[in-house]
Structure 1
C-alpha cells in the first residue's frame, strides 16, 4: 500500500512539473545546440591538418547568428592566432564578388548586353572560331575555352594574358559544354575595363565595395593590411621571390603574373565585408542607402542560365547545382547559390530563408596539402540542420524547382 501511495505521489509530481524546455533558439531562428556543431567540425579538421584555421560567419537577413575564429592565421614562420578580422585570399570568389557584379552593373546600364559577342569588345577575339562566344557564355562557363592559359613558359603581364586568350582555340562550340574556365573570367574583367574606362580593381572598388562599406576588400591590398592577411604557401615561379611565403600577394599563378588584378582571382577580403555583400544580394541589390543592382538584375544573375540539357546548372557567375556544388552541403534548398575559392573559401546564400554562410580559410598554408571540400559541405549542412521556422515558402519553392528539369542529378565532390 505504501509503495502504491509513493508511486501516486511521483506521478502527481511529474504531472504538475513544467514540460522540458524546448531547445534554445536564437533570435535568428536557429537552434543554438545544432549550430554549435560547427565548432566540432572545424576543430576536427584542424586536428587532421586539413587547414590551420578558419573564420565562419552565419547570417540570416541583417542579423549575424554565428561568428567565430578557429585555430591559427599563420603557422610559418611564426604562429599567429586566427582573428575575426583576418583577411583572406578569396581566389575564385573574385569571379562573383567583383567580376560578375561589375558585369551586371554594366548590363543594367545598357552598356553590355548578355548576348553581345565578346569580339565586340575585344577586337581579334573572333579568330579561330570564337566569333560566336558571347558574354553569356563567359558568365556560365559554356564558351568552349579550356580552363586556363599555358604557364609553361615564364610570361608576365596583364596585356600578355589577354593577348594569349585572344589566340586561344576553343575545344567545343559555345553553349555545348560546361567547362570551368579562368580564361572566361579574366576576359570578363577586360570587358569591364574596356567598357567602363577603368580597371576592374577601380571599378569594383568605386561601384561595389566603397558604397557597401567593404573597406578592407581589395586587389593588391596595401602593406598596412599585411599583418591581418592569412598567408597561403611558399611562392614558386614568376611574380615573387622563390621560397617566400605568399602574404598579400595572390596565390593564383595566372593572376599573379597579370599583376594581381584579374577577373578570376586576386581579391582579398574578410568575413565582415563579405557579410555586407551577402546582405546586399538578399536585399535585392541594396544595403542601406547604397544601391548596387536592382532586384531584377540580382534575380537574373542568380537564376539558372545554362542550357537545360547540361547536367551542370549555373547562374551568371554563381553556382547552383554543378559538379562544384558539393560544398553547399545536403540540405540547403534548391535555389540557393554560391561559389568557392581554391584557397579554401566559400559563400552560400539562400534567398527565401535569408540565410548565408561565409567560410574563410587558408587551407594551402603552409605546405599546400590541406583540403576543406568535405568541411565546407559539413558546415553548410550543419547550418541548414540548425535552421527552424523556415516558413511555407521553402517547401513551395522546392516543389516548383522539382518541376524544372535541370538535368543535374547529383553533386559529386570536386574541390575548387
Structure 2
C-alpha cells in the first residue's frame, strides 16, 4: 500500500465504519476530507457527501474546496493566533488583567483573572450558557458574560469555556480598535494567506451542511446537561428545525452575535486549514508574523498537561519518538493539529452531525486520522530519523 493510499483508505473508512466502543445507533458523518503534510509528504483525501443524501436531495460530493463551519476551531485559527501576533508586537501581555481591556469584567474575583487564564481555560468562568435566552442584543450578551457570577475559583482547575474565548475576542477588539472580523483579517487571515476563510457565512455555495438544526442545544437547554441552565426550550422561539448550511451552527454565535465571536463563527476549507497548521509546524520560518519565543510559550504545557495556551496538547509517537502535538477540535467535526519544529501538520474536515443516528465524536474521528497519519509519518520522518542516527 502506498503512503497516499493509506489516507484515501482512511477517508473511506471514516464514512463507512463505526469504531468499537461507541453507543448503539452511532453512525458516521456524511462526508470527510483529510490532509497530512510532513517533510517529503503532502497528501489529501476526501470521501462522501456535503449533506445526507435523501430521496429529495441530490448526493453532492464533499470535495477539498468545500467550505466547513469550524465551530471551536475558531478559538485557535482566529483568537489564539491573533493574541500571539499582538503579543509578538508587544501590544498585550499574558499576565495582563482582563479588566484592563474589559473594565466591566471586575466584580467578585474577576479582577484577578488574566489573559493567560482565559487561554488556559482556568479563569473560573462558566463553560456555556444559552446567551440568546438571556439577551437580545450583542451588547446585552457581552454584559451578561461580564456580570455573570464565576462558576469556579479562578486558577484552580481547567474548565473548557466558550465564555473565556468570547472575552478574548473582545480583548482583541479592544487592543486593535477594530471589529473582530477586521482584526482577524489583518492579523491572521491576510498574513497567512487564508483566502477561503471568513466569519459568519460561507464564501461559496460549495458548503457542507453542518447539522440538521438546533437539536443539540435544544436538548442541552431542556436537560441541563452537561451544564445547568435556568431556562427551557419553550423560552425561545427561534430554534432552527431544518438543516443548517452556510451559516454558523453555534447557537450563541448565530442567534446573538451575528456569526462573529472569539469562540466560534469561522468558515474555511481543508487547504486553508492545512496551510494554517503548516505555518505553526514551521513556526521559525515565519518570524515576520510572530516572535518564535512567543509561539513557543503558547506551545508549552501549562498546569494541565493536556492544555497549552489556546491549543490542546498531546503526544504523537513517530519512529519511536514522542513528539508534542498541538491541536484543537470543533463540535461540527473539524480539527487542526501540528507538531511544532518538525514540519508536521494535519487537518480533518467533516460534517459529523449530518447523520441519521448518533454522531461519532469529533475526537474519535481525529484519533482515527492520527492512526493513519502515524503509519505515514513512521515511513517518512521515522526513516529519516533512523538514517540520521546511523
TM-score norm. by structure 1 comes to 0.77
Contact 1:216 1:273 in 2 (8 A): yes
Name the counterpart of 2:352. Answer: 363
Give yes or no for contact 1:93–1:265 (8 Å, CA) kept in 2.
Answer: yes
Instruction: Give 3-state SS (helix, strand or coil) of 1:130's partner.
Output: helix
Structure 1 368/150 Cα, relative in aligned 2: closer, same or farther at 3 Å?
farther
Which residue does the alignment assign to 2:246? Answer: 248
Q: Which runs of 5+ in 1 are unaligned?
A: 1-22, 25-30, 396-416
Aligned-pair distance for 1:337?
0.8
Deviation, 1:187, is 0.2
Q: Distance in 2 between matches of 1:239 and 1:194?
A: 33
Q: Is the 8 Å Cα contact of residues 285 and 291 (structure 1) preserved in structure 2?
A: no
1:67 Cα shift?
A: 0.8
The reply to whether residue 103 of structure 1 matches residue 94 of structure 2 is: no
What does 1:129-208 correspond to in 2, within 5 Å? 129-151=109-131, 153=133, 155-208=135-188
Shift in Å, 1:276: 1.5
Distance change (3 Å), C-alpha of 1:340 and 1:124: same
Q: Decide whether the 8 Å contact of 1:54 with 1:360 is kept in 2.
A: yes
Runs of 4 or more, structure 1, over 4 Å off, are 31-37, 235-241, 328-332, 391-395
- Find out whether 1:314 has 2:307 as its counterpart: yes
2:367 to 374, 377, 393: 377
Contact preservation (8 Å) 1:233, 1:367: no
Between 1 and 2, higher relative CO (CA 8 Å, sep ≥ 6) is seen in: 2
Match of 1:126 among 82, 99, 106: 106
Residue number in structure 2 paired with 1:41: 13
Is the Cα contact below 8 Å between 1:226 and 1:247 reproduced in 2?
no
- Count of matched residue pairs: 354
**Residue matched to 2:381:** 390
CA distance in 1, matches of 2:355, 2:380: 41
Please state whether the residue corresponding to 2:71 is helix, strand or coil: coil
How far has the Cα of 1:193 moved from its partner? 0.4
The whole-number CA distance in structure 2 between the counterparts of 1:242 and 1:34 is 38
The question of whether the paired residues in 2 share the 8 Å contact of 1:339 and 1:346 is answered with: yes
Rounded Cα–Cα distance in structure 1 between residues aligned with 2:206 and 2:323: 39
Report the alpha carbon displacement of residue 389 of structure 1 after superposing the two structures with TM.
Answer: 4.4
**Is the CA contact 2:278–2:338 (under 8 Å) kept in the aligned structure 1?**
no
Contact kept? 1:38, 1:379, Cα under 8 Å: yes
- Correspondent of 2:94 among 114, 117, 126: 114
Higher Rg = 1
Q: 1:104-139: CA deviations, max 9, x gaps?
A: 111112221100100111112110221100000000
